[in-house]
Structures are given as structure tokens and as C-alpha cells.
Structure 1
Amino acid sequence: MFFTKASGPLAACALLVGLGLPACQSSTTATEQATAAAAQPAKPAPVDTIKIKRLAMQRDSLKADSIARKTGQLPGAILPGHRIVAFYGNIRSKGMGILGREPKDQMFRKFDGVLKEWQAAEPGLPIQPAIHSVTITAQGAAGKDGKYRLMNSGSTIEETRRWAKEHNCLLFMDVQVGLSNLAHELPKLTEYLKDPTIHLGIDPEFAMETKGARPGKKIGTYDAKDVNFAINFLARIVSENHLPPKILVVHRFTQNMLTNYKNIKLDPRVQVVMDMDGWGDPTLKKDSYKAYVEKQPVQYTGFKLFYEYDIKRKPNHLMTPSEVLAELNPKPLYIQYQ
């Protein structure tokens, strides 16, 4: 192909046409286009929603801290102005605790009697009844995804909620993650936790992800970072839904069930209860409370009583409310019966 020795922009255009490429525009047209392009508004930068939520959480946390410093607690906080007394278990299971062991009406009659005993033991502190329901339960079978846990059906959860509302109880949804983890399991409860009367329990005994064993073979463990995840998860729900503070119950009865407790970061939007969960001889139960709850304090304390296992060996007995309050320091503000 032959080209003349033309020069300048027209020559360049002719060359491109000869090659079959799009022809150039005149320099005047190009300038006009550049001016028009400069006049167009710049595309907005992508929105970092995670960063926005994190900043909002920080602002909400600072605001909550400010209010808590002035008043001692956030509006609607249950602790320390009440003692919570809870019946534990699953309404579909006779073996998991008192909550499902006896017929409903019979169980609530027993519960009413227990509440009166606790009120009589310390008349000046109001009693708040609660149902503590194991909602995600560790399993002996792996299940389809190999995580050894199972969540209650929607109908079971709703019936448990009705029981709680009928008797003016708080509802604690307890989580046993098996080989799963809190990051995967807690979001399943988000919609329920938007209810101001529903709170959360987490059980390190059945947290087996770092153990590599199925539940029941070893005692599981949580680290402070796991508890912090649960605290932040609840705090976000409180802020986004304008709720009073949530309560987080963490079960414990050995040293290794909770590691690095000093790294737990408290938030006024979440009240943390460390619950001494062991059973047996009252002396051993009191020693465990002293070693793992009193000596490693986080915020509030709890104590668990077992209708069957605490009296399994004679002469052991079920500790009375007066006995618990007289012999434990600090006095637990969360009491659970299994």
C-alpha cells in the first residue's frame, strides 16, 4: 500500500482509515469532547458499608459509655437491679433439664415456688423469672455438614416464646456450637434477638472447633475473642433496634473453658454473666465458683443448681437460696436450675 507524505492530524487520520481503524475526529471536536467530559460529575466512590457500620458502632459505644458513666447503667438494664432466676432445658426434651422434664403446668407451679424462695432469701432485690432454652444443641451425630449441632424448629422456638410471655419470663436462647462457631450460628438468632425480652447464652463446654473432637468426648473452650464476638453481635442488635441492654450468659466450670478472660471487652449495651455451671458436692461447686468466677471476674456472676445431678451422690444436697447467698461472694445475680 502506498501513502503520500502528508503531515499533521489529517495525515494521521488518513493513515488510520487506510488501516481500517476508526477515523480520527478533528482536533476541535476532540477538544470539545474533553471539555464536555470534564464537565460530567465524577462517579461516586464505592460505599464501604462495613466501615460505616464499624464507625456507627463506635459512636453508639461512646454514647452508651457516656450515659453509663452518668447513671451507672443504660435505661432498661436488668442487672444489677434484679436477680434473674431461670429454669433451663428444652421443652421437647425430658433429659436436658427441668424445662422439659415435667408437664408444663406442673413445671411452672414448681417454678413459682422457687421464685418465692429466692424473693424471701433477699426481699430487697426483685426477682426476674426467665426460661433458658437450649436453642442450638450439640449432637452426637455429625449431620449433613459435619458440624455436630442442630437448631430447634421454628415451631419449637415460637412455643417456647409463648411459654415465656405467658409467665412474664425473659427468654434466653442458649447456643452449643459443636464443630461450628459463633460467627456462623449467632446470625440465625438475629430476628429473635430483636425482641427486647430475649437474651443469649453461649456454652464453651460444647464448642469443639479448636478441639477437633465431637461434643461429649472432651470439654470444649472459648477464648476472649469468642466472647467479644458475641458481645459485639448483641451490641449491634441493641443499637440498630433501639433496645435496652442485652444479657449474655457464658457457662463455665473449668479453667480452660474460657481463656484470656482479661481480654474480654465490655460494652454497656451488653451485660455479661459468668455462670458457674458445675454439678455435684456443694463444697466442690463453691470451690469452682471461687476459682473460675470470683477470681476471674468479668462483670456479673451466675450459679447453676441441678435437680438431679447435685443430689446424685449422698449426702449431697440441692443448695437452698439462703445457702447460696450466704456462702458465695459476690452474690450471684443469675441463678439457673437444670
Structure 2
Amino acid sequence: MTDSDELVDEDGLRGFLTDRLGGGDAFEFERHDEGFSNETVFVSWGDHDLVLRRPPPGETAETAHDVVREYTVMEALQETEVPVPRTVGVCRNRDVMGCEFYTMERLYGDVVRFSEPDRFADPETRREVAEEVVETLASIHGTDVEDVGLGDFGNPQGFTRRQVERWTEQIEWAFDTTTDERNVPALREVGDWLEDNAPDDHAGGLVHGDYKFDNLIFEPDAPRIAGVLDWEMSALGDPLCDLGWLLFFWRDEGDDESKITRTMLPQFTKKEGYPSRDEVVGMYEEASGMTVENARFYRVLAAYKMCALGEMFYARYLMGNSDSSFYAMMEEGVPLLADNALSMTEET
């Protein structure tokens, strides 16, 4: 297992924090083991509670784990309606700690992964939570990117088709390692379907790239979002890609779940009070002023993206760069998700 000492050069980080925050009598750090992409380290520096974000050690896909990109968008959103943590600083000099990294203030509250906190456990609060999640997503998409300095953060034109191409490339990168263990032919079929059905024209705006419950921190005393996290895949692009990703993790009461999908995907949105996926789409249309067309394509794209991430996780596991049981689960999990995605392409 990766530990804190592998992730942090103590002298390098000490100098970085001293330059930005002044001297700190207390200096402690501890790896946070809940994430599956960039590494998260909790840092105590004097009176400051901080979070350090850096790429994982070992070989990674070429465009994955871009912490500088993550920092750039959060820095730009500091004074907007989009809730993000207060940034502290970014280090692009790899000589300091062997990689690029950034630090931000640590937020406290609830991160909802596979179960909701007790204070959400009534229908009215669940509805408020859903509205907060959807309205915050609409706020991200409604950001005036020129006003916040993100006008050159990407090219929205052709974004969705490039997403298909990008995740296909990531899958092929992983296949170089994983096909020695097992093949996933359904994944290539899904990729072909997406290529044939990708829209050439779509709306443009700031997209988060990984918007779902466990990348949100809810305030400890209210169903309000204190911060949106994990912006490493953010860009200017098609906002409906974010919506499709949220819908992929938003499970409906009638969904047929296998043991693996119950393990991989949260089930709490099936409970009374949470809206259905169709209702979420309607809520988003009202909050954003956009019309959602071809929601099936965006849900299939989301499933394909999850398969790509899972296959990269499995490749890292086989390379010996992680001993995560979740990564190991992708041996069976990705083929199952690929079959489900292929079934979605055949829906009428």
C-alpha cells in the first residue's frame, strides 16, 4: 500500500508551505485512502488544516492525473457562486517533491459515498439534497468563463466526440496490460456505437468532468454543498456530459443490480424522497435553462468512461502500482459494466 512517506518529501513540502504560509510549529501529514485517482494527503501546518493533492506514484496514462489543471479551475472559481475550497498554492517544479502538486484548505462536513448520513434520512431532506446537487451543477455550467479567466481552458466545439476518442485511447492504454488477463469485447462495441452516435453540435460551458455525490462535501449542519472537489478532468465542453455522469451514479428503484454493481455504485438514491433519473433531468432543465436531448447517449458515454477508469485502475493493479481491492475488483467489474452499457445502446 502507498503510504504518506512515499507521497511527501518532507523537506520539500516544508519549504513550499513556509514560502506561502510562513513558519509552522506543527507539521504532520497523513494519506487519505478513500480516493481512486489523484492522491490526497491531509496536512497540519501550524494552525492550518490543509489538503495536498498529487498524482499517484508509478506509470499513468499520459493525460490522467492533471493536478495543475485541477488547481487552475478552483483558483478561478474562488469568488463565484460555485462552492470550492480556498486554494493555497501550486507547485509546478517537480524537483520539490518529484511531481507537480497543490495545496488547499481542508473542508469539514459529510462526503456521501455509499450511504447517506442520518441527518439526510427523511424524504424532505433528501429532496433538498437532490435540489442542491442539481442546482450546483447548473451553477458550474452557468459560469461566465471569460469573466473568471477560463476563456482559454479548452475548446467546447467537438468536445463530446473528443471525449469518445479520449476514453478509447485510455482504454487502449490499459488494454496493453489487462488483455493478458482477460478480454472485454463489449467495450469495443460500445466505443463503436458512441463514435457513430456522438453529437456534432452541442452547448458549451465549464464542465467538471467527475460530478457525483462523493466529490461533494456537504456542510455539517445543513443539506448545502460546502465544496465541489476533484476538478482534474474539468474543461470547457458539453455540459450534458456532466449530467450523464451524475445520472450513471443515480440509481432508480427498478434498476437491476448485480452483486458487483451494488458494491461499485451507491444505492441510497433509491430511497423515498430522492427523485428518479427522469426527474433529475427535469430539475436540471429548470435550473440551467437547457433542454436535454438524447440522454441515453450521455448515460452510455458515462458508462464507457467508468469502464475506461476501471480498466486503468486494473492496469495499475497489475503493474504493481496499487494493491487496492477496488482496483482488483475491476477484473470482473469492467466486463459487467461494459455489458450493461452495451444493453443501453440497444434500448428503444
Shorter-normalised TM-score: what interval?
Answer: under 0.3
- More helix by proportion, 1 or 2? 2
- More strand by proportion, 1 or 2? 1
* TM-score for the superposition, normalised by structure 1: 0.27
- State the structure with more CA Rg: 1
* TM-score for the superposition, normalised by structure 2: 0.27
